[in-house]
Amino acid sequence: MRIASKRVLASFILSGLSVATVQAQWAAAVKTQINQKTESLEKKVVAWRRDFHQNPELGNREFQTAAKVAAHLKALGMEVQVGVAKTGVVGILKGGKPGPVVALRADMDGLPVPERVDVPFKSQVTTEYNGQKTGVMHACGHDTHVAMLMGAAEALASVKSELRGTVKFIFQPAEEGAPEGEEGGAKLMVKEGVLENPKVDAIFGLHINSMTEVGTIKYRPGATMAAVDQYAIKIRGKQTHGANPWAGVDPIVTASQVVMGLQTIVSRNLSITDNPAVVTVGAIHGGIRQNIIPEEVNMIGTIRSFSPEHQATIHRRINEIATNIAESAGAKAEVKVDIMYPVTYNDPKLTDQMIPTLEALAGKNNVQITPAQTGAEDFSFFQQKVPGFFYFLGGMPKGKKITEAAPHHTPDFYIDEGGFVLGMKTLCHLTVDYMEQKK
């Protein structure tokens, strides 16, 4: 099917059709071509995904993945940038007509998780992570994101001459976090100018979900995923024999009181009817023998919040609680809080604008508002700079109970590949409809 030329479009307008009608007809025609293309790409995308799944790579080490992505984008005739934020790849597709710049993003990194799922393309990769030998697995579905965006890139390239704007394909490393001592992820991509030259007007991203049925799409306007921070507390006491605790200052007892004190932050200091929050103690280390009260105890944990006000309150109260409890015991506390990812915030206006696109593809009943998620996403760094929309694509087999589906970041994580075509279509249709509406 050939898209109407400028001469034909002009004739439509002269025949009495409004510009808006002509624009809508253009978008519909382009999307028809895209649908045909994405459906023809399904087997290819599944094969890509299985290859990535079988050969996962950790953050800032996605060398093979990046090379395959770059080769594909170059074969499509795009301008390609490599080595962005360590191993990131960016492809630029310039449409045949002027218009906005739309960015589409996929993350590429796997996790230090050994795979238990019995599939022919099971990961057997092992590596060393934080000094420990571990398996490596795509336990969060980033392999599916890469494959679907590669498919979307091929579909949009097939209608390049008719696109009313430019598409920037962002393949991002280290979404799960860079190795200790390194920068990485979306934050570094933004720092290196990925949203400039050409300047991005809007960005879209999806995340597969193992506990949402294939064919279903979930989203949330505004605060969608939590800001994440991490903290470390060092309690310094006075070492003594375990038989003579009165001769020292016990940092283990003090740390125990701090743990209980931290639990009051969410329950007593935050208006949780406005937004949820989480303060978790993830690890406590102290002591070496049963009969020695040690000199110090170290604690680490994570914070999740959905507003700057709650985030600031939590940071302040962690410091106050740890410092004052330690002082009351005759010990000292050192508190360090590191700000990690901001809130994943879906621009409300952009979200409202694009939901009809998803409903047209998946069916209105299959596009659902989801509660706020206490997981975090560094897609949020892109959204801090430009309007962005992040949504969740179903990857659970139809008919399966949610209670039977393995969560993300676990060895049994599993994705049904039947939703990949819908994923590709959403990325492409959002792009075309945004270009049509941004005219």
Task: Dump pLDDT digits (tens) for 274-286.
Answer: 999 999 999 999 9
- Residue 255 to residue 54: CA distance in whole angstroms: 43
User: 71 and 52 in contact (C-beta within 8 Å)?
Assistant: no
Domains annotated on the chain, with CATH: 6-225+343-437 (3.40.630.10), 227-341 (3.30.70.360)
Picking from 211, 209, 263, 226, the residue whose alpha carbon sits closest to that of residue 374 is 226
- Per-residue pLDDT for 236 more than 50? yes
Tally of residues, the chain: 439
**What pLDDT is recorded for position 130?**
85
Alpha-helix runs per DSSP H in 329-419: 348-362, 380-383
DSSP for 24-93 reads HHHHHHHHHHHHHHHHHTHHHHHHHHHHHHHS---TT--HHHHHHHHHHHHHTT-EEEEEETTTEEEEEE
Average pLDDT over residues 372-376: 95
% of the chain residues with pLDDT over 70? 95
Cα–Cα distance between 36 and 163 in angstroms, integer? 16
> Is residue 307 within 8 Å of residue 274, measured between CB atoms?
yes
Q: Which residue has the higher pLDDT, 23 or 395?
A: 395
Q: Would you please indicate which residues are annotated as catalytic (active-site) residues?
A: 341, 417
DSSP code at position 137:
B
75: tokens are 């074969």
Q: Residue 439 has what pLDDT? A: 67
Taking the C-alpha atoms of residue 251 and residue 280, their distance in angstroms, rounded to an integer, is 19
- Which two tokens mark 67? 């090379």
Rg of the chain (C-alpha set):
25
Residue pair 399/123 in contact (Cβ under 8 Å)? The answer is no
Please, are residues 260 and 325 in contact by the beta-carbon 8 Å criterion?
Answer: no
Residue 12 has pLDDT above 90, yes or no: no
List the strands of the sheet with 296-305, edge to edge. Answer: 278-286, 296-305, 227-236, 332-341
438's tokens:
């941004």
What does the alpha-carbon distance between residue 422 and residue 428 come to, in Å, rounded to a whole number? 10
Arithmetic mean of pLDDT over the chain: 95
pLDDT digits (tens, 9 = 90+) for 305-332: 999 999 999 999 999 999 999 999 999 9
d(C-alpha 172, C-alpha 89), whole Å: 7
CB contact set of 315 (below 8 Å; sequence gap of 6+): 229, 303, 337
User: What amino acid is encoded at 415 in this protein?
Assistant: I
Percent with pLDDT over 90 in the chain: 92
Phi (first) and psi of residue 149, to 5 degrees: -70, -35
Residue type (1 letter), 166? T
Closest C-alpha among 162, 170, 217, 161 to residue 393: 217
